[in-house]
Structure 1
């Protein structure tokens, strides 16, 4: 639940009723980091850091005692407890062998093996995530995964697609939609828990970078202005997000009349 008085006192340093500035003795704060807890072993600390997503917003709040705001966060409905799991062995698949990829140069190349299960849930099963990756790196991984189709960034040219197909013997196609807001709406829709009590997508624990990116992506707010929903904040890591969304477009019917994503403009994680 939102507790604006907590933010007003300990983050904004103002009286929650009068709005007057508070002096430092009015907002004492005693911080303690999880790594400084001598009762925990190094193994326990490493496990907890991993469970909370490394340096995610949630980890920075819960393990590092930081004031982490959620203003502009795009995917506030993401939850490790809800969306991260391995598929049960008995699960039947409607479609396998599809990968989504976001090519990087100096930035990471991110590729995901995706699957559509019997309940029409999309799974991110395996992850390839490498900076300075060349074609041999991701093509070799796709062959090892036995991918039948690889869906990529729509901005790739016909000439480039043709060259890669003929050079490596892979089935490569562009994603049908290139708009930023389409990818955002797709992810938000898949993360929602439906009437069956389940979300529209799952991520295995092996997809470490995708698990980190989704809860940490936030919309840009240039120079303190209102949040814009057509780009991420500067420095955001979105390569895994893009790669997943390109492939997911192949596995799901995408109505183009979804609502424009809303932005959380106030609040702190609690």
Structure 2
């Protein structure tokens, strides 16, 4: 007997969440059980079983910024019904730009540093003015803020999406001091790389050593926490190996 997946296009607001839901029935319209896979642009996001023919899950779409994505649902079949596949679209409706002030960033950085010191790791997201911001997008905001303050630009900063790295690679073993000129040079390189590639690096090279992404989050949080639109940036910032930060 044939199986039928009742799937429609899904509309989601940029930076928002949306519910992926559909029904799986036999050719007579009766709900059926079995294993299903849900893929977006060929990447599997759900691999589970449907019971009574229904699937419904809320998904975070904050990293989806193209106009459309392909949505595939694959049903694996059961003893009575054959496998089937249905395709639809995820349509992303552009939202108004989100702007974050330096003051809001400072508050977020203060909370983030405390969280890291207590939990000994970097969280995946942080809340800024009711917006859930991924740690990669936060890093992009911090780098932009440092660059802007170095240019005496005090404007609010637009929240933009960049990919968070899956690995943070670090080789430094001793404390070091980055002068203003040194960390501004690193900042300019980071800003250019993220603006062009939409991807946070897993590390930066400094004096033939690597400062890892997690440590960079901590360093830039320190810079923003201790800087202001009135007094500018720090004259230098100490870098402690990440293993010591979370020891």
The answer, yes or no, to whether TM exceeds 0.5 is: no
Decide which structure has the larger Cα Rg and report it: 2
* Higher RCO (CA-CA < 8 Å; seq separation 6+): 1
Q: Which has the larger share of helix?
A: 1
